[in-house]
Structure 1
Amino acid sequence: MPVQILPPANHVSSSTISSNEKDTFDPLEEKRAVRMLDYTVLPLMTMFYLLSFLDRANIGNARVAGLQKGLGLTDHQYQIAVTVTFVPYIAAELPSNLLLRKIGPRVLMPSLLVIWGIIVTLHGLVSSYSGLVIIRAFLGLVEGPMFPGIVLYLSGFYTREELSLRVALFFSSASLSGAFSGLLAAAIQNMNGIGGKPGWAWIFILEGLFTVLVGLVSFFLVPSTPQDSKFLTQKQKNIIAQRLARDRPVIGIIEAFSIKEIFRSLCSPHVMMVFIMFFGNGATLYGLALFLPSIVNQLGFSATRSQLISVGPFAAGFFVTLISAFLSDRYNSRAIPTMIIATLAVAGFGVYLGSHSVATAYGSLFLSVPGVYATPPIISAWMANNSEPYYRRATSIAIGFVATNAGGILSTWSFPTKEGPRFTRATIMDLVFSIVIVIGSALNALYLVRATHQKASRRDEILAPFEDEQEAGGVAKEQRAWLTLGDRHPDFRYTL
């Protein structure tokens, strides 16, 4: 069945750039164009994700500040309230990624930010268990599209080998939000009693209002594509278009949505292996994000001190995330950095499991938190690097984060207060998942090497169906082969 092609939209292909102008695209100009994207697009995406993670995970800080006691919740009820966030969150990820191009990032992303900011603010008015469950469900529905949407969005601005560092730059805000939320919560909870509201309510109200403000401002700042940027010159836009077309031959053609691309993604072994890794990482990451203040609190520290000293491990995670992603891009490698980082987590959870002192248990967090938080940017880039064309890539990225948040659901039931401060079952589970990530990275790399060799050896056979095709709709047969085959094209080299 022929592939339906739509005319390009908001795209300047390399064919529209004169050969004269191409000759002027020296490395320095290209570097300046990329830096302008870094200065104008990345800060926005970083702020979006920082607020997303902060507004989702601040319930852990609110719990330490008195939320559970204030609403009279049992541990079981608190866990349900956290769990229901993930169900609509997961349900929204794939549809939103498939709709991102249709609606446009300039409209969709700021709108989501404003709506969830309002929802977070309303957390401060909750007075019952049922109210908390309902408001958390709505928060998950609106926040779900943001992380996969940002990864998909950035994959349309940067080449494949640049993506890991850029994902890390915005994802590192998750580590930063873990540190920042502890400091912020420690200060805000001192507002206890102002306006008749408890300190935990003010955590939600102030953080939610700030999110609304950022969302309103971002309507004027987010470009849907590089061609829409208000900060790039036309020459810089052409440079970006050319380098993207060089990196992804199909990027100049806007294909119609096809349900087949969803199934092609789901049937790709390398996608499924990374899916498993995402699940394991989600279980460990959300466990630390949601419960680290409580874990530290159960080690014997006061509520305020628990908020403050939880900053250290998250700060370490921030630096390890950036350094590892930089090296991953620098050497165009995903498997080896992932294995090394996950080994840090293995060591951290192993030390915590065998620790016999508070100092050792707390110190182990400086291994486990970086080992968990530095993994997602690299495996996110790995997933995006190896899936083409657009809708297959959109699907792969989305289902990766579906797995992450499915793991998040598991994590919400892993740290009951009665099992603290050892949390033996949860620690063993996190240790096993970290080992799975190490092994999964090695297996995926081996599979990709084999798949690349097989495509090369069967090149003529794979391309034979396209040899007799004529140009259709202005699309040459070579482009139609790329569009139909995507990452299965024999000239597509998988990132290892």
Structure 2
Amino acid sequence: MSGSPISPLEKEKVTDHVEKYEAKYDNQLPPPPVLSEEEERKLWRKIDLRLMPILCLMYLMSFMDRGNIGNAKLQGLTTQLNLTGNQYNIALTMFFIPYCIFECPANLLLKRFRPSIWLPSITVVWGIIMTLMGLVKTYPQLVGVRVCLGVAEAGLFPGVTFFLTLWYPQNALQSRVGLFFGAATIAGAFSGLLAFGISFMNGIKGLEGWSWIFIIEGITTVCVGLMAYLILADFPATASFLTPEERAFVVWKKKFDNSSVGEAEEFKLSYVLSAFTDWQVWMHLLVYMSIVCPLYGITLFLPTIIDDFGQFSTADSQLLTVPPYIFATAVLGIFAYYSDKLLVRSPFVFASLILCLVGFAINISNASSGAKYFGTFLVVAGAYAGFPGVVVWLSNNLSGSYKRGVGMAFHIGIGNFAGAIASNIFRTQDKPRFILGHGIELMFVGIGLITLPIIVLMYKRINRKRAEFMDRVAEGLEKMPSPEELRVLGDKSPDFQYIL
């Protein structure tokens, strides 16, 4: 890649950074070049083409494998396994308990075992588990396999999200997370189409249609995991598909993206503890749950909700789940693009919550089936379009590699317990209106609509105080902490400004 040597003014800023990375990577990284806007755009496009397709494919399979049980239900799962009462809901719930518990430890293991090994390995494991789910014959077997699936899938989403924060700067992150999470939206549409096609395999080899849904999707997941071993890279500083100059630029760009002195990279227990005690992690957790509960509620029960309109065959109900996800994919892309372009997160998350609010309000009412179907478009779009913004917003405002990794995993892991709640609120006895389910979803959306403005106000207050401090430093009235102290402070540094 072409690029002139770094200017004298910039050289002083990156000296400490370059020395540190030269020591860490055996003097393999030269000083970062200065790239034109077009050269930088080409570099990010080169990285995108290497990382994003396989990551999107892995997450598409992940989301399809955890949500296809909703399609399997319509294909005879509950009948053949003699599921009664709330047993189906319990089976859904048992996925989320280990899924939430193991997300935080999984992020700590990501760096130790390398992304190119860790992420493909867990993909292959859960693909095998998904295949075996097609062979279960009893309710206890179903629950056991769902627990194993939760353990295996736990490391993917927080791991990939954290992995992307190590590659992309703030103003490019949500569009990538949005693209990655867009695979989940496509999974919702593709799962309905696939279930419709697989329904014609009912009876082959003595297996019902629901078994073939699990088996075919499980085998496909294993193949995707094996492909990922060959394609996925590790970290920017060691990426063999980049030139040394390109590696140096990406490392430098990310290092100084949200800190004037660079992020702390070494592991310290204090960084882990600071993630658990940071007020913003806990406040963002509430907003995350306000999006995740609607997301999993609509993912797991959309086929049932549409089927209970009472106007469509099972096959038609499967097909009718596709259009809401296509609409949601478009909304997600628009929100992610403009959120990065404007470098703001909260307005788009707020708009997503409003979409969910209106959609659930329609579905809890006595409106016609057509109006309720329209409401599902709003819910799917709001939940899926808002999710990347919630995750990226917190990651942008956590500084320090380990603090961000732990904070994001804790945020996602605990927040996903909302998925366990969503698994139990759409009960059989409440159909066709599902007043309890829609009512609880509205409650979670309300929590988000209240919490989000509070977070924004707190961020504005802190940013204003830090700006005033920096003004006093410029006037010689205050002393600036040393670079080492600023690195340790991370997002608590007086020159760190929170993104709104």
TM over 0.5: yes
1:466 Cα offset (Å): 8.6
Q: Does 1:162 align with 2:172?
A: yes
Q: 1:262 aligns with which of 272, 287, 294?
A: 272
- Count matched residues: 476
Q: Is the 8 A contact 1:152 1:394 kept in 2?
A: yes
Could you tell me how far 1:481 is from its partner in structure 2? 1.9
In the alignment, the residues of structure 1 paired with residue 224 and residue 28 of structure 2 have an alpha-carbon distance, to the nearest angstrom, of 38
Give the drift of 1:9: 8.8
Q: Identify the residue that residue 291 of structure 1 maps to in structure 2.
A: 301
Letter in 2 for 1:376: F
- Letter matched to residue 193 of structure 1: G
Distance change in 2, residues 1:185/1:251 (3 Å): farther
Q: What is the match of residue 492 of structure 2? A: 488
8 Å contact from structure 2 (residues 28, 244) kept in 1: no
Give the equivalent residue in structure 2 for 1:98. 108
Distance 1:161 1:355, change over 3 A: farther
After superposition, the C-alpha distances for 1:227-269 in whole angstroms (9 at most, x for unaligned) are 33343233322221232133044657531241x2233122222
Q: Which moved more, 1:346-355 or 1:63-72?
A: 346-355
Distance 1:251 1:69, change over 3 A: farther
Q: 2:352 matched to which residue of 1?
A: 341
Deviations along 1:376-417, whole A, 9 cap, x unmatched?
100110010011111110111112212331000101111011
Structure 1: how far apart are the matches of 2:464 and 2:445? 29
CA gap 1:465/1:118 in 2 versus in 1, 3 angstroms: farther
- Contact 1:283/1:430, CA 8 A, preserved across alignment: yes
Query: What is the letter of the counterpart of residue 207 of structure 1?
Result: E
In 2, Cα distance between equivalents of 1:306 and 1:408 = 23
Give 2:59's aligned residue. 49
1:374 paired to 2:385 = yes
Aligned to 2:372: 361
Select the residue among 229, 238, 254 that pairs with 2:239: 229
Indicate the residue corresponding to 2:405 in structure 1. 394
1:278 — aligned with what? 288
What secondary structure does 1:449 align onto? Answer: helix
Residue matched to 1:174: 184
Output the amino acid matched with 1:134: G
Structure 1 counterpart SS, 2:234: coil
Q: Sequence identity of aligned pairs in percent?
A: 35
Q: Which residue of 1 aligns with 2:7?
A: none
In 1, the alpha carbon distance for the partners of 2:45 and 2:24 equals: 20
CA distance in 1, matches of 2:403, 2:26: 21
Equivalent residues of 2:263, 2:490 under 8 A apart: no
Q: 1:328-380 CA distances to partner (integer Å, 9 max, x unpaired)?
A: 11110011111112111111111222242111111111111101111110011
Which moves more between the two structures, 202-211 or 35-44? 35-44
Q: Which runs of 5+ in 2 are unaligned?
A: 1-18
CA distance in 1, matches of 2:208, 2:415: 33
Residue aligning to 2:223 = 213
1:465 and 1:267 mapped to 2: Cα distance?
27
Counterpart contact for 2:30–2:245, Cα < 8 Å: no
- After the TM superposition, list the runs of 4 or more consecutive aligned residues in structure 1 that deviate by more than 6 angstroms: 9-15, 463-466
Contact 1:118 1:209 survives alignment (8 Å)? yes
TM-score normalized with structure 2 length = 0.90
The one-letter code matched in structure 1 to 2:267 is: A
Query: Which residue does the alignment assign to 2:99?
Result: 89
CA contact (8 A) 1:343 1:435 kept: no
Q: Is it true that 1:325 corresponds to 2:336 in the alignment? A: yes
CA pair 361-199 structure 1, distance change in 2 beyond 3 A: same
Distance 2:21 2:101 in 1: 30
Q: What's 1:422 paired with?
A: 433
Do structure 1's residue 67 and structure 2's residue 77 form an aligned pair? yes
Deviation at 1:14, TM superposition (A): 12
Q: 2:145 aligns with which of 119, 125, 135?
A: 135
Q: Which amino acid aligns with 1:166?
A: R
Change (3 A) 1:11 1:147: farther
SS at match of 2:129: helix
Secondary structure (helix, strand or coil) at the match of 1:220 reads helix
- Alignment partner for residue 22 of structure 1, among 33, 43, 47? 33
Check the 8 A contact 2:264/2:488 in 1, yes or no. no
C-alpha distance in 2 between matches for 1:238 and 1:224? 15
Q: How many Å apart are 1:22 and its aligned residue?
A: 2.7
Structure 1, gaps ≥5 residues long? 1-5, 468-476
Cα distance in 1 for partners of 2:213, 2:262 equals 43
Summarize deviations over 1:435-475 as a string: whole Å, max 9, x none. 322232211111111112233445689x99995xxxxxxxx
Task: Tell me how far 1:188 sits from its aligned partner.
Answer: 0.8
Distance 1:172 1:14, change over 3 A: farther
Matched position secondary structure for 2:68: helix
Q: What is the one-letter code of the residue matched to 2:210? A: W
1:297-317 per-residue CA deviation (whole Å, 9 max, x = no partner) reads: 111121111100011111111
Contact 1:13 1:245 in 2 (8 A): no
Residue 490 of structure 2 aligns with an amino acid whose one-letter code is: G
**C-alpha displacement at 1:98, in angstroms?**
1.5
1:87-131: per-residue Cα shift (whole Å, max 9, x none)?
A: 110111000111211111011000000000000000011000010
Normalised TM-score (structure 1) = 0.91
The answer as to whether partners of 2:309 and 2:432 remain within 8 angstroms in 1 is yes
Determine the structure 2 residue equivalent to 1:384.
Answer: 395
| Alignment partners' CA distance in 1, 2:432 and 2:262 | 51
What is the aligned-residue RMSD (CA, Å)?
A: 2.3
Aligned counterpart in structure 1 of residue 362 of structure 2, from 344, 351, 355 = 351
Q: 1:377 to 1:22 in 2, by over 3 A?
A: same
Separation (CA, whole Å) in 2 of partners of 1:465 and 1:114: 54
> Residues 387 and 429 (structure 1 numbering): CA distance in 2 closer, same or farther, change over 3 Å?
same
Q: 1:311 aligns with which of 322, 336, 358?
A: 322
Q: What is the match of residue 470 of structure 1?
A: none
Query: Shift in Å at residue 16 of structure 1?
Result: 5.2
The answer to whether the Cα contact below 8 Å between 1:14 and 1:245 also exists between their aligned partners in 2 is: no
